[in-house]
Amino acid sequence: MSSQGKILLKGNEVMSEAAIQAGCRFFAGYPITPQNEVPEYMSKRMPQVGGTFIQAESEIAAINMIFGASAAGARCMTSSSSPGISLKQEGISYIAAAQLPCVIANMQRGGPGLGNIRASQADYFQAVKGGGHGDYRLIVFAPSTLPELYKLTMNAFDYADYYRNPVMILGDGILGQMAEPVEILPYEPIVELPEKDFVLDGCKGRKPRVLKTLFLRPSMALVRHNDLLQASYKKITAELKLHEETETDDAELVIAAYGITARIAKGAVKIARQNGMKVGLIRPITLWPFPDEPFKRAARTADRFLVVEMSGGQFIEDVKLASECKKPVEFLGSGGGWYPTPDNIFEKIQTIYETEALVD
């Protein structure tokens, strides 16, 4: 199939168009900056493709509409930003428990509380470690450019269907607001999509189906259900870790960053290399499952890690776990609207080189 050529779109619009291309036909959301372009775009596009757009009365209602739409068999999506994602946590837990596919986007902004509307990566724990109640996992994608946002959004629908698990696109205000030329490539499923044998569409020609998350009887029913969920998470962990490495082969210092921060860090790697410093970058593309192997490898070959993130230090915990704390992990980050430039990161690299005397 031929592509429709490159067009200049904002990140929020890129993600929305990718969803439409991937066959998303139900969107519910509630306005919040910096993701307002998503509901705005969807309100215009959904009717054009015969889909449904609903401006919900709250993020709680929106995520529950997704619960219903997914149960009814639609490819569906909701998006929000940090405070709104907090409100969605109840629904996310139910959706994960019922093993319903859907895509949830968080264009993160500053927190805690109302925070501000600048970009942030402070919802890492919420996205990756839980957020809602109970033992569940979200598949979390962290795109770092708009073409990647386009591709991963499409993939998110496939993985959600394939694993019957909600997928979160963890972006941020910069990714959502920036504009870049993006090629609107046609959708091709990247996995063989299973039949949706859970859909509630009336019991014509079959036995009635029940979608539920309450398991009272027999007494071990919930344990069994949780074991089932864990088995699914194990499968996902074994199959879906994605990452990108830049110049890590001979690196003495390995930067770890994800999303937009990784894109900025790539610039710092370039500057460092121009200055004769052996610096590389590991960029997780999936934050859950976390790609631990590259960090294990780097812990053997490099001297030190440098984590860069737009938070007070959340992602760093997974880097330490993955690298088994075998090498020191430096940190550059802050919450609430701070973002790094390649020069900032390069300065930090210089400081590390000066004070820690990295040697081969």
Partner 1 sequence: MEFKRPTALLDACTHYCGGCGHGIVHRLVAEVIDELGIRQRTIGTAPVGCAVLLYDYFNCDIIECAHGRPPAVATGMKRVLPDRIIFTYQGDGDLAAIGTSETIHAANRGENITTIFINNAIYGMTGGQMAPTTMIGQRTTTTQDGRDITSEGPPIKVCELLSSLDGVAYLQRVAVSTAKDVIKAKKAIKKAFVNQIEGRGYSLVEVLSMCPTDWKLTPKQAVDFVNNEMKKVFPLGVYKDKK
Among 1, 3, 50, 204, binds partner 1 (CB under 8 A): 204
What whole-number distance in Å separates Cα of residue 9 and Cα of residue 6?
9
> Judged by CB under 8 A, does residue 315 bind partner 1?
no
What whole-number distance in Å separates Cα of residue 155 and Cα of residue 147?
12
What is the smallest separation between the CB atom of 139 and partner 1, expressed in angstroms?
Answer: 21
Kind plus residue range of the DSSP H or E element containing 341: none
What is the contact mask toward partner 1 in residues 43 to 72, using x (rule: CB under 8 A)?
A: ---------x-x-xxx-xxx-xxxxxxxxx
What is the smallest separation between the CB atom of 90 and partner 1, expressed in angstroms?
Answer: 6
Contacts of 300 (CB under 8 A, 6+ apart): 326
Among 117, 184, 211, 271, binds partner 1 (CB under 8 A): 211
Q: Please work out the total of residues on this chain that contact partner 1, with binding judged by CB under 8 A.
A: 39
Starting at the edge strand found earlier in the chain, the sheet holding 243-246 runs: 243-246, 279-284, 253-256, 304-309, 329-333
Compare residues 206 and 300 and give the one whose CB is closer to partner 1. Answer: 206
Stretch that binds partner 1, among 80-88, 186-194, 198-206, 343-351 (CB under 8 A): 198-206
Compare residues 58 and 341 and give the one whose CB is closer to partner 1. Answer: 58
- List, in sequence order, every beta strand (DSSP E) within 98-154: 103-108, 139-141
Among 188, 201, 239, 343, binds partner 1 (CB under 8 A): 201
What is the smallest separation between the CB atom of 60 and partner 1, expressed in angstroms?
Answer: 7
Compare residues 213 and 232 and give the one whose CB is closer to partner 1. Answer: 213
Nearest partner of 330 among 257, 235, 234, 231, judged by Cα: 257
What is the contact mask toward partner 1 in residues 13 to 42, using x (rule: CB under 8 A)?
A: ------------xx-x--------------
Compare residues 67 and 339 and give the one whose CB is closer to partner 1. Answer: 67
Give just the sign of the alpha carbon dihedral 95, 99, 102, 104: positive
Distance, C-alpha 220 to centroid of its chain: 33
> What CA dihedral angle connects 327, 330, 335 and 337, to 10 degrees?
-120
Contacts of 287 (CB under 8 A, 6+ apart): 124, 127, 128, 140, 141, 142, 170, 258, 315, 318
Compare residues 96 and 260 and give the one whose CB is closer to partner 1. Answer: 96
Compare residues 105 and 319 and give the one whose CB is closer to partner 1. Answer: 105
Applying the rule CB under 8 A, the residues between 213 and 242 that interact with partner 1 are 213-214
> Judged by CB under 8 A, does residue 90 bind partner 1?
yes
Q: Are strands 6-10 and 26-29 parallel, antiparallel or unpaired?
A: unpaired
What is the smallest separation between the CB atom of 65 and partner 1, expressed in angstroms?
Answer: 4
**CA distance to 50, 91, 108, 247, 289, per residue, from 34 (Å):** 27, 22, 8, 33, 26
> Judged by CB under 8 A, does residue 203 bind partner 1?
yes
Q: What's the token pair of residue 323?
A: 């690298």
What is the smallest separation between the CB atom of 28 and partner 1, expressed in angstroms?
Answer: 7
Contacts of 60 (CB under 8 A, 6+ apart): 87, 88, 90, 91
> Judged by CB under 8 A, does residue 160 bind partner 1?
no
> Judged by CB under 8 A, does residue 210 bind partner 1?
yes
Cβ atoms 352, 305 nearer than 8 A? no
What is the smallest separation between the CB atom of 254 and partner 1, expressed in angstroms?
Answer: 43
List residues binding partner 1 (CB under 8 A): 25-26, 28, 52, 54, 56-58, 60-62, 64-74, 76, 90-91, 94, 200-205, 208-214
